[in-house]
Chain A
Amino acid sequence: MSDLLANLWLGFQVAANPFNILFCLLGALVGTLVGVLPGIGSVATIAMLLPITFGLPPVGALIMLAGIYYGAQYGGSTTSVLVNIPGEATSVITCLDGHQMARQGRAGPALSIAAIGSFFAGCVATVLVAALGQPLTSLALLFGPAEYFSLMVLGLIFAVVLAKGSVLKAVAMVLTGLLLSMVGSDLETGAGRMTFDIAELADGIGFANIAMGVFGFAEIIRNLELPPESRDILKTKITNLMPSRQDLIDSAGAIARGTALGSLVGILPGGGAVIASFAAYTFEKKIAKDPSRFGRGAIQGVAAPESANNAAAQTSFIPLLTLGIPPNAVMALMVGAMTIHGIVPGPQVMTKQPELFWGMIASMWIGNLMLVVINLPLVGVWVSLLRVPYRLLYPSIIVFCCIGIYSINNSPTDVSIAAIFGVVGYWLVKHDFEPAPLLLGFVLGPLMEENLRRAMLIARGDVTVFFTRPISAVLLSTAIILLILAGLPKIRRRRDEVFVE
């Protein structure tokens, strides 16, 4: 316990550095700014804003990215409440009651309860991340290459099973990502692989190019196809921001339950935050005395999912920081950012760079605090942002992304590669393939190959090593059981129902 406090103290010392606070503030602001824009989810937001963090020192960059992530999440719920268009998947459910509240002239309380709920959830989840970090890390340090490989397989399978869409196609996407990650120089021999003698590919395909193409550009192209939406932004001015005493009493329980549920679901790989918000809403509706109030502006219907998705967003850092396994696309982006700064995510981060690890955890809490402090007064700004029509928005995003990609390596080829992946992403959506597993596979590819090769070398070419070493055997058989379960018709139907939204 005293260890935990000492570590958190170290973290707050790092995070309270004025520059880091500034980065955190900037990240939260910019994240909200982009997250507010409808049709641009948090993955696209982070992908877009990645390049502007590359010039910063590693700790600052990661703190800023984390800030962007919370900001994007929070911005999404603002859009849900005010326009009834979810800024992103995790706030789909917030639309239901949040927008109704706004219609009844209670947009202010809806927004502030969302912020307060998120803040509370963030506080609890921060402590959870800090508490679980140490034991999980010491467990992971026992792992050899075979165990690591099996763990990554399990992580990927988990992410695939808990996400929406066909499991078979998602596994195929993971493998596509793995294959793409092998383009470029071989880890051990330095031989150029699958480069077609193109000099720019010798270093491999840039992670930012894929992320920006598949998530940023493809999403914009996709949105262009939709008919111009009719946005009924609230015309009335938001006057009363503060929730009443009754609101607070009503939502206290919902916030607590949402936080608990979200923290739990968030640790699991896959669509953690999305599932968490849905589950929390359904749960609240089930235990409510008068379920018919839900969908008509019940404040619990805003408080629970918003707390849950924020808690889940935060606890999804646990597998990344302790095991080095990104559980979802956002965390895959974080891995990419870490790698660009020369940090290999995994258990060694905590022991070798404690100030980075704990600084980031502490900044999560600060980031959440900032969201409450800065966002509520700025609601007016976000609303006016929502009035910018999409026809002016998307070209701005495109040029912003172009400059961003170009700035990473000063390479025009990178921009063209991202354009190609934009087309790829568009095609994937047309054929019902989820792009998130592709990114996960791409990010984990080099680590997986390295551990596979090492494990095989140590075992003198004996493939059975993955099943004879106990930890590895347990991990792999869990993965296989999961896959079989997901394939069973009964469970498949249940799973489809969950993701039916």
Chain B
Amino acid sequence: MSEGVSPSPGGTRPGFSVHTHNLIGGLIVTVLALLMLGYAFFVPNTVIPRFMLAALAVIGIATAVGLVPVHGPRDFYGGIVLVMLPTVALIASAELPGQRGFAFGPGTAPRLFSFVLAALGAAVAIGGVFAEGPPIEKYKIRGPSLVIIAILSFAAMIRPLGLVPATFLAFMISILGSSEMRWIESTIAGALMTLFCVLLFVYLLNLPFQLWPRFY
């Protein structure tokens, strides 16, 4: 998967580009860590996650100002996120009872696995500091966000509007994500796909869908 890396913007001036990336990346890490830290203060029993988040915030700042010589940014930021995730899990499972005698409580396994994952995440991140690795691929905004918006709007529309409008509109929104979209062709394709889905799911698979908006 590491092949076909698109060169980062400003790839001709590697020093500069690495610097800005780390400024942005470090700041994101810091902000996320501080937000979660703020949340953790409202949850009892979260001393360890609080320390972990504080450490992450410090690491974020250090990265942003260039104190951390990140050689493999993909692994570094990937690892950081894999430390953040179990930290959230630790906060979320803080109030669950733990070990009672010989028996695991509901909170034991989540905490156990969280600590192991955090350790692995830290190892990945440390590897990212020292081992040379490819730069982070540029994130595209238009395609992915329109696809996600289409899915979310389907979720929002299916109950109030019914299957037909939700399917058609989701189709039209997601097709906007393509750079080669043509209106007439897309509308026809959208209508055909909607028809196909109605036939398949409602008539063939007999699923209880509401097709059109319900007027009370």
Contacts and interface: CB of A to CB of B under 8 A. Distances in A.
Contacts of B150: 395, 398-399
A416 B158 contact: no
Interface in B104-136: 104-110, 113-114, 116-117, 120-121, 123-124, 127, 136
Contacts of A416: 151-152, 155
Contacts of B114: 179
B158 A412 contact: yes
A327 B171 CA distance: 35
Contacts of A52: 200-201, 205
B155 A412 contact: yes
Contact of A179 (B2, B117, B174): B117
Interface in B166-182: 166-167, 170-172, 174-175, 177-181
6 contacts: A175-B120, A217-B148, A224-B140, A224-B177, A402-B151, A406-B158
Interface string A29-73: 000000000000000000000001001000000000000000000
A464 interface: no
Interface stretch (B7-15, B26-34, B44-52, B85-93): B85-93
A1 B77 CA distance: 56
Given A176-B85, A403-B201, A430-B136, A453 B144 contact: no
A221 B158 contact: no
Given A175-B116, A399-B193, A430 B74 contact: yes
Most chain A beta carbons < 10 A, residue from B114, B155, B171, B181: B155
Most chain B beta carbons < 10 A, residue from A224, A402, A461: A402
Q: Top 10 A-B pairs ranked by shortest CB distance?
A: A431-B78, A224-B143, A186-B106, A415-B155, A194-B92, A461-B102, A419-B151, A175-B117, A412-B155, A391-B178
A175 B89 CA distance: 12
A168 B171 contact: no
Given A193-B106, A402-B170, A423 B144 contact: yes
A220 B147 contact: yes
A477 interface: no
Contacts of A461: 101-102
A399 B197 contact: yes
A432 B2 contact: yes
Interface of A: 52, 55, 165-166, 168-169, 171-172, 175-176, 178-179, 182, 186, 188-189, 191, 193-196, 217, 220-221, 224-225, 228, 389-392, 394-396, 398-400, 402-403, 406-407, 410, 412-413, 415-416, 418-419, 422-423, 426-427, 429-433, 449, 452-453, 456-457, 460-461
Contacts of A392: 175, 185-186, 189
A403 B158 CA distance: 9
B120 A457 contact: no
Contacts of A398: 147, 150-151, 170-171, 174
B180 A391 contact: yes
B1 A224 contact: no
Contact of A221 (B85, B144, B167): B144
A186 B194 CA distance: 40
Nearest to B73: A431
Given A179-B114, A419-B152, A460 B120 contact: no
Interface string B182-209: 0001100110011001001100011111
Contact of A55 (B2, B120, B206): B206
B110 A394 contact: no
Nearest to A441: B113
B163 interface: yes
A114 B206 CA distance: 36
Most chain A beta carbons < 10 A, residue from B89, B151, B171, B175: B151
Nearest to A222: B144
Interface of B: 1-2, 74-75, 77-78, 81-82, 85-86, 89, 92-93, 96-97, 101-110, 113-114, 116-117, 120-121, 123-124, 127, 136-137, 139-140, 143-144, 147-148, 150-152, 154-156, 158-159, 163, 166-167, 170-172, 174-175, 177-181, 185-186, 189-190, 193-194, 197, 200-201, 205-209
Contacts of B151: 217, 398, 402, 415-416, 418-419, 422
A392 B184 CA distance: 12
A396 B85 contact: no
A211 to B, nearest CB: 15
Contacts of A415: 151-152, 154-155, 158
Given A165-B1, A430-B139, A432-B2, A395 B127 contact: no
Given A189-B105, A418-B151, A457-B104, 17 more contacts: A168-B120, A171-B120, A175-B116, A178-B113, A194-B89, A220-B147, A221-B143, A392-B189, A402-B158, A403-B197, A406-B158, A412-B159, A430-B74, A430-B137, A431-B77, A432-B75, A457-B103
A193 B89 CA distance: 9
What is the predominant secondary structure among interface residues of chain A facing chain B? helix
A456 B110 CA distance: 16
Contact of A396 (B123, B178, B189): B189
Contacts of B205: 52, 55, 407
Nearest to A433: B78
B164 to A, nearest CB: 11
Most chain B beta carbons < 10 A, residue from A182, A195, A453: A182
Contact of A395 (B92, B113, B193): B193
Nearest to B150: A398
A212 to B, nearest CB: 10
Contacts of A165: 1
Nearest to B108: A453
B136 A431 contact: yes
A55 B205 CA distance: 8
Nearest to A212: B151
Contacts of B143: 221, 224-225
A182 B139 contact: no
A186 B97 CA distance: 11
A418 B193 CA distance: 21
B178 A189 contact: no
Nearest to B185: A392
A419 B8 CA distance: 27
A175 B113 contact: yes
B174 A394 contact: yes
Contacts of B180: 228, 389, 391
B199 to A, nearest CB: 12
